[in-house]
């Protein structure tokens, strides 16, 4: 974990505000290309509902899974008024950040992966919002940028989540072949990752540019684009991203790590 609890709380508000800016004036019935089962309104309700769910987990100091159907207001506002949806999104983010700030980072609460404390939810809601903001930005043709430290932590968290998930789900798809590896380089942020593959497992670490670790495939580009490729929000063939080495290894990884 590379960010402070207070920073995550700030980012829940910031990322939510930017998501709302993408939705402002948009056709909320439009399909989201990267989540084709959702309209833009569905996407907004998912994010706002998740904010409310995590808020209840922390507020009640839950020690077991909190039933999503018991979360007040999680289904979104009544009717199709865009202003009501915007206000509902803002309210959910504000309450989420406020409850997490009051709890601090170390309150023991249930989580489905990683530390069973409130900071898990602060981090999770930051990156849940950040990644779904990419969905909204792509759907409306808006620019997508991320603060360097936040975007880098989003990838760290993703690898943490994948490590946890694969430890408990033996039927996962094959990641690759033993000895294969991936190198991710967010050039504008000066951050790199090195991933070593086995057929069912992997290890990862932040890479040191001076180490010159050689990988089977390397992905170079701006942080926002590398992040979206890893989360399958952009194709790996996007012009701003350079793929060096065996592209099929990246394809297999992306297919096997899609939730």
Sign of CA dihedral 232, 122, 26, 45: positive
Reference 190, options 206, 205, 203, 174; nearest CA is 206
Q: Is the pLDDT of residue 236 over 70?
A: yes
What average pLDDT does range 220-235 have in this prediction? Answer: 97
What average pLDDT does range 197-211 have in this prediction? Answer: 85
Beta bridge partners of 205: 194
Q: Which CATH architecture has domain 5-144?
A: Up-down Bundle (1.20)
Query: What tokens were used for 82?
Result: 């865009």
Between CA 92 and CA 101 the distance in angstroms is: 14
Strands (DSSP E) contained in 76-130 are none
- How confident is the model over 128-138, as pLDDT tens digits? 999 999 999 99
- How confident is the model over 43-92, as pLDDT tens digits? 999 999 999 999 999 999 999 999 988 999 999 999 999 999 999 999 99
- How confident is the model over 102-125, as pLDDT tens digits? 999 999 999 988 679 999 999 999
Domain ranges of the chain: 5-144, 162-256
Q: How confident is the model at residue 174 (pLDDT cuts 50, 70, 90)?
A: confident
Q: Which CATH architecture has domain 162-256?
A: 2-Layer Sandwich (3.30)
């Amino acid at each position: 974990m590379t960010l402070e609890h207070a920073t995550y709380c700030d980012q829940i508000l910031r990322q939510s505000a930017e998501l709302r800016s993408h939705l402002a004036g948009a056709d909320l019935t439009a399909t989201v290309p990267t989540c084709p089962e959702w309209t833009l309104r569905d996407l907004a309700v998912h994010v706002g509902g998740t904010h409310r769910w995590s808020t209840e987990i922390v507020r009640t100091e839950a020690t077991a899974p909190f039933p999503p159907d018991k979360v007040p207001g999680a289904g979104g506002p009544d009717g199709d008024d865009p202003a009501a949806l915007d206000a509902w999104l803002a309210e959910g983010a504000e309450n989420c950040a406020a409850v997490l700030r009051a709890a601090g980072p170390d309150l023991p609460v249930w989580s489905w992966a990683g530390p069973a404390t409130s900071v898990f939810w602060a981090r999770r809601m930051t990156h849940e919002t950040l990644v779904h903001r990419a969905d909204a930005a792509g759907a409306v043709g808006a620019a997508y940028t991320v603060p360097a430290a936040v975007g880098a932590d989003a990838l760290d968290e993703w690898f943490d989540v994948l490590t946890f998930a694969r430890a408990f789900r033996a039927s996962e798809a094959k990641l690759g072949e033993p000895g294969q590896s991936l190198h991710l380089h967010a050039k504008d942020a000066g951050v790199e990752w090195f991933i070593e593959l086995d057929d069912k497992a992997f290890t990862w670490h932040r890479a040191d540019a001076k180490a010159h670790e050689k990988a089977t495939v390397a992905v170079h580009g701006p942080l926002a684009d590398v992040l979206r490729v890893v989360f399958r929000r952009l194709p790996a063939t996007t012009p701003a991203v350079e793929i060096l080495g065996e592209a099929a290894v990246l394809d297999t990884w992306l297919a096997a790590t899609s939730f």
